[in-house]
Structure 1
């Protein structure tokens, strides 16, 4: 652009191409070159022919050059003003164009809005499912609390029975059975409390999952990379749906095993009571329970007379029944241990999968 301003001849074509309108000066430049010595065109005036002194001719030539420089400077000033005006006009047009593009961009609707709404509805459904699962876990915890209270009540009753048996000087075998029963109930109580703590941990994990789902639901509205994240979320939803079905099936199987084990425990407890009564009857004593206090009534063994063969037979039956009780109790303990191990593995896998899913999210 500067080359076009300070050049002559064909060098002005850059300025003509850049400027929106060619500059037209307001004076006649031919007047500047009338007395230019480089053009070899002098005006034959009377003043020039009468100058015989070279000093006066030099002064006249210098005045002509000064006038030429002044006219060129004035022309450049006019061109600069004109170019500033054109620059302001182009800047205004550019700002108007940018504002128009901005308005068109803001008026254009997002094509992914239906997909976003669908994903939000899916996330709400998953949030509701996790809430229902959390409610189920809470109801299970309440049921476990009731079972703990019942075990505490039964433990108090058994301890009261032991104290009464000590007062009445019952047989050492009956006392041993009572202590074993207390130890068994205490171990069951500890296991139940441990299971209660595990369920509380699962409940906390479900709450964390629910919180993460809520955060994901809030962040999806602010996200801008819709196509990639839509595909990623759809894939994650399919995987989570399959994992949820698998976990529900495993949880259902675990609950069925727990109910079966509980029913077996109740049956074994009843059977233990019957066997204890048979053992006491075989030894000449009858263990009776009256009311909620569980008071005992004994029979005087001196009034009961048994033959040696009958006594040996009853002792053998007693030993067989004791072995059978111990075997059943061992089976119950092994089954409970297997159930706990299975539940712990399921919970560990679930936590690992949930943790991996949460770490792979990029909102």
Structure 2
């Protein structure tokens, strides 16, 4: 007869997973109460909630997202596909999405895409599918979703930020065109004959919309349209452009497509002995927190990134709950913030 050898007392024992019932017993509450706490339900508050959280930590309990999905039909997780965090708009929009998702009891799974191609986007969706998400927010800066050859996987609830989804996807965006029009009209109203423009990089939806609006306002006013300069959103690219513009005495007003490039312009004009706003007026776009500390404080177009993030979460969760929502575009208004970097032209 074969006998099972005795277990070495010093050998580690396989520990069974901690269950919701274990947490309930330790906290002195029902399993239903533990479930509500783990799902962020607002009905459990105060000391009861704290007792449950303490018991979870003590036992090392982690809610089973797969089991929860089977029971409730959702993972309570939103995937975010993001091409870059280097721009102010993307980082602040992501921050707002995380904040508002948490208020709704949802977690965020972030999938960065190094190269914005069709394969890159589809690969990101595949990874998100493996990680179990209920919906996806795509933060775009290029015309990837505009191409007829690009299709996203069927059955995935999607909201796109800062792009043109056409009739296929729900889009949330800042009103890029109106913000640029406010900036250019402000400079013309001050008496400048025309306005130079430092645009963002080619392929950027936001850069294109702002450049189109700049050109349109000048054309409507019957003013000459100067050659467009192009940067890459960085202060360094604004600085390089500013050095060239500083040599043109006809340049008395510049609209930069973002605040970082406007910062580079201010440095270049200062180095070339052209005062702002005495010789040249400068307007930016974004209204980053540091824009009030520029020398001089920067006139700029304010974007409400918090509202963009809120609408993204609201719309994608509406799709999850209603299953079918007609695609459309939601534009968040902009406003011009006038500071000390703009004034009437010299003379």
Place the TM-score, normalised by the shorter chain, in its bin: under 0.3
Higher Cα Rg: structure 1 or 2? 1
- Identify, as 1 or 2, the structure richer in strand: 2
**Alignment TM-score, normalising by the size of structure 1:** 0.20
